Amino acid sequence: MNRTTQRDLIQGLPQRWREQYRHCAGEKRVITGKLDNLDVDVATPADVAEIIGNESWTRMTCGECKKDVTELVTIGDEPDYESQTASICIDCARKAASLFFKK
């Protein structure tokens, strides 16, 4: 079980991008350079989207309520192709916890 914030995603983004596109050239390499120069401690999702061209690398969506949020708790297996994993926001985590106390 772990908690991930949007800041965590932004801070890890240059490394994740490099791993995914390490063998690419052209535009992907230009984006790599821009991400390497990004101040990940203050950059916003909009800053990242401006560099990459979309919001997918910083978007966090609750698996239960489907709202875009800034932090999630992931439970279950490490996320993978066939893992049993759920990522939920704090509101849905509270609702889930309250089910244990219903009679």
Please report, for the chain, the start and end positions of each structural domain, with discontinuous segments joined by +.
2-52, 71-101
The DSSP 8-state label assigned to residue 78 in this structure reads P
pLDDT digits (tens, 9 = 90+) for 43-85: 999 999 999 999 999 999 999 999 999 999 999 988 888 889 9
pLDDT digits (tens, 9 = 90+) for 1-50: 999 999 999 999 999 999 999 898 999 999 999 999 999 999 999 999 99
Indicate whether this model's pTM tops 0.75.
Answer: yes
The pLDDT assigned to 63 comes to: 96
Query: How open is the CA angle 34-53-63, to the nearest 5 degrees?
Result: 110
Name which of 83, 20, 80 is nearest 12 in CA terms: 20
16, 4 contact by CB (below 8 A): no
